[in-house]
Amino acid sequence: MRIALNARILQAPRTGIGHYVAELVNALRSEPDVDVSLFHGWGWSSALPAAAMPGYSRMTPLLRQIPGAYQARRWLEQKRFDQGRAQGLDLYHEPSLWPLAFDGPTVITLHDLTHLHFPETQPPARLREIERRLAAGVEQARVILTDSQAIADEAQAYFNLPAQRFVVAPLGVAERFRPRPLEEIDSVLKAHAVQAREYFLCVGTLEPRKNLSLALQAHALLPDAVRQRFPLLIAGMAGWQREQFSEPLRQALASGHVCLLGYLPDEQLAQLLAGARALIFPSLYEGFGLPVLEAMASGTPVVTTRSSAMPEVAGAAGNYIEADDAEGLRDAMSRLLDDSQHWQACREAGLQQARLFSWQRCAQATAGAYRQAMGG
């Protein structure tokens, strides 16, 4: 099977979907009957591009102000994409929303339905595009991949589709996320002025859905001496409506107990995850929650919410809280500090849970979806 995979998202800094595309492409190379060609917006390639760093923009602010600029770019991309049909491509996989037109079988990956549950957490322009294009993309797809059963169930009910149209392909964990000896992470810890297992870590773009304000509130409820010894580090790009964090974040930063790290290179983030006391992941809604899996694979306990797909990922290893309960999050953080037996049990349970996931299993399920869409 010759697969056309839309990899244009890899031109941007890699967050959830970008990591999904890169890891899936690498894992699919082990599938003997799958040959992937990557469409990067203006042409085709067989090789993954280097990871971009923040500052990249797929559409410059100037272009955004030009009426019809998005539609013009989309039209040009479609023309370039159509040239790939001459290469004898059999199937098109769109790993995000709104696929391009293709006259053969199409598979899409539907990562979540955030726009239905939390429309206020989406930029208005993006929300309009989702509402305008998603239904058509779902109709175009012969098979719909989801990262979790929770999203498959939601989408099946919302779009009134048979279960046979869906294939669940849980995500995997990259090799860099693993327990590390102190000497491997010492330089990164020193660079951020922290000690191993003496800081909490949040990972996620600063945007409303990630609910990072709850982590700030809970950390502020800890005793001053505890906050000073166990600071809260936040790793992630500034996202949409980040101004909502301005005042609480300004106060937290001024106290010296919270540190905003920005977007980190992959290896640095992996090392920080391996050295943290716990990952704090209070997201309102996730189609999977990749940082939860990455933390567990690194030997780091996780505190997360019991909503959407997070329980599928964390299983019995998770420390669960309600998404609006700052005191409950504070108590979960305190227990991971004070109860060493509980911390060790969470670490061991997380390592065991993480072994259930791999990118190779994700690729195998994805290749099965391709065969199903091809009629095999």
Residue pair 202/281 in contact (Cβ under 8 Å)? The answer is yes
Which of 53-62, 99-108, 357-366 has the highest average model confidence (pLDDT)? 357-366
- Mutual orientation of helices 149-159 and 124-140 as an angle, nearest 10°? 80
Phi and psi at residue 54, in whole multiples of 5°?
Answer: -55, 150
Q: What is the pLDDT of residues 47-69, one digit of tens each?
A: 887 776 555 444 444 444 565 66
Q: What is the pLDDT of residues 153-201, one digit of tens each?
A: 999 999 999 999 999 999 999 999 999 999 999 999 999 999 999 999 9
pLDDT for position 241 = 47
Whether 192 and 334 map to the same domain: the answer is yes
Residue predicted with more confidence, 348 or 208: 348
How many whole angstroms from its chain centre is CA 372? Answer: 26
Amino acid identity at 337:
L
Residue predicted with more confidence, 283 or 119: 283
pLDDT over 60 (residue 259): yes
pLDDT for position 86 = 63
For residue 335, tell me if it sits in a domain: yes
Which structural domain, as residue segments, surrounds residue 28? 2-172+358-373
pLDDT for position 56 = 47
Residue pair 146/191 in contact (Cβ under 8 Å)? The answer is no
Only one residue has tokens 């090799």, namely 175
For 244, residues 6+ apart whose C-beta sits below 8 A from its C-beta are 208, 213
Whether 103 and 227 map to the same domain: the answer is no
Whether 78 and 207 map to the same domain: the answer is no
Residue predicted with more confidence, 266 or 117: 266
For 348, residues 6+ apart whose C-beta sits below 8 A from its C-beta are none
CATH number of the domain at 155, please.
3.40.50.2000
pTM: 0.90
For residue 177, tell me if it sits in a domain: no
